[in-house]
Amino acid sequence: MVNSLPDQPCLLVIIAPYISPYAILRYNRSKSILHSEGPIMLKNLLNKFPNAVLHKGDCSNPGLYIWFKDHTETILGIPKRDISQEEIQLLKVLYPGESINERNISFSNKQWSDYLYEDNIQLPITSWEQVRFTQFTISGEDFPYKEFEEAFLSFVPEDSLMVWDNDLNGTLIEGLSHDNPGLDEWIPAISTLESDFYVKIKIFAGEFHPVDIRLRSHFTMERNCFTHSRLHLPDAKASSLPEVFPFLFMKGISLDYKEWYKEQLLGETMEDQELIQTVKLYIEHNSNASSASKALYIHRNSLQYRIDKFIEKTGLDIRSFRHALTTYLIILLRK
């Protein structure tokens, strides 16, 4: 329990002129100076931290900020590079409301949070051999996050985890099992959550990746895909790489990332020249099996077998326009 103001000269010198004896008395009772002298105190803190922001929308990457909230729901975000640990501890006293960094409190959650969002490159301790990251963003700040987290986790296997980057963005982490929801299953689930908590939710469902040294880079690539998904597919509640890839292709894909996209979309079929050529020709014939089989000089049943094999191995249903477009573009990129 805090009985007096912490001895932190770096901030106390700045805020002291604005703290009346009455404010200190109220601080000892309510643990919130801002509750009594909010506007002046906040202005002074903004002078101390000129790069601080008061709204999540004022910064491009909320994960690079430390966020605080007081009893009046005033939010303050300070760049991590601008603030010391001592100053963070003092501001946690001045802003006794929930700090987003305190949501990831369990050992496993903290490990994954540090691995994904901080500079910790050590793989978390886990029994999972493969994991999937489902990244999400929420529009609407006034919701009970614990109840929301519990409801969100009810749609995935029991051992799944949820880690928060800030109070509106986070990642659901699942180990590979027989109960992982597909993209189509997420859409009604999201609608249910939106209705129950009066928020808007968007997710990006990644692929399953081995838990190895490349895991962090997979997460970073999928995070970039999620950014483009929100930009180009604003009405989509749930998206994945096949949906967003055409927009990434139009923007231009550097040689550094070319192999990653081929690996994620084509997988082991990438080395099957006959199968890839069959799929390419099938799409070029407007997905007309009769026309494509004649061009390939094979029986229609043989063509259908190859198409089914490709769909099963990649998850790309080339009978639909969107997946056919993504498949054709990645085949062109393959050359």
Each residue's pLDDT tens digit, 155-187: 999 999 999 988 789 999 999 999 999 999 999
- pLDDT at residue number 64: 75
Asked whether residue 97 carries a pLDDT value surpassing 80, the answer given is no
CA neighbor of 333 nearest in space, from 271, 267, 252:
252
* Tens digits of residue pLDDT in 287-320: 999 999 999 999 999 999 999 999 999 999 999 9
User: Any idea which of 40-49, 61-70, 218-227, 266-275 has the lowest mean pLDDT?
Assistant: 61-70
- The tokens for 7 are 């001895």
Residue labelled with tokens 């903290």: 110
* pLDDT on residue 63: 63
Q: How confident is the model at residue 84 (pLDDT cuts 50, 70, 90)?
A: confident
Q: How confident is the model at residue 100 (pLDDT cuts 50, 70, 90)?
A: low
Q: Give the mean pLDDT of 220-226.
A: 97
Listed residue (244, 256, 262, 252) closest to 325, CA to CA:
244
pLDDT, residue 35, reads 44
Does position 101 have pLDDT exceeding 70, yes or no?
no
The predicted pLDDT at position 186 comes to 96
What structural domains does the chain harbor? 9-102 (no CATH), 107-239 (3.30.70.270), 262-334 (1.10.10.2840)
- Is residue 222 within 8 Å of residue 197, measured between CB atoms? no
The Cα-based distances of 87 to 12, 23, 156 in angstroms read: 10, 20, 39
Percent above pLDDT 70 for the chain:
82
Task: Give me the chain's average pLDDT, please.
Answer: 85
pLDDT value of residue 17: 46
Q: Which of 194, 60, 64 is nearest to 136 (CA)?
A: 194
Which residues are paired to 164 by β-bridges?
A: 170
**What is the model's pLDDT at position 142?**
75
Is 22 or 312 the better-scoring residue by pLDDT? Answer: 312
Q: What is the dihedral of CA 223, 229, 235, 237, to 10 degrees?
A: -40
Euclidean distance between CA atoms 234 and 171, whole angstroms? 19
Q: Which whole number is the average pLDDT over 61-83?
A: 77
The reported pTM is 0.71
pLDDT at 119 over 60: yes
User: Which one has a higher pLDDT value, 110 or 31?
Assistant: 110
Q: Which residue has the higher pLDDT, 268 or 75?
A: 268
Distance CA(296)–CA(302), nearest Å, equals 10
Which residue bears the tokens 């009893």? 71
- Who's near 247: CB < 8 A, 6+ residues apart? 228, 231, 232, 233
Measure the CA–CA gap between 7 and 86, rounded to whole angstroms: 10
Residue that wins the pLDDT comparison between 208 and 2: 208
Enumerate residues 6+ apart whose C-beta is below 8 A from 234.
none
Looking at beta carbons, which pairs linking 176-181 to residues 24 or more positions away fall under 8 Å? 176/128, 176/129, 176/130, 176/131, 176/132, 176/208, 180/132, 180/156, 181/155, 181/156
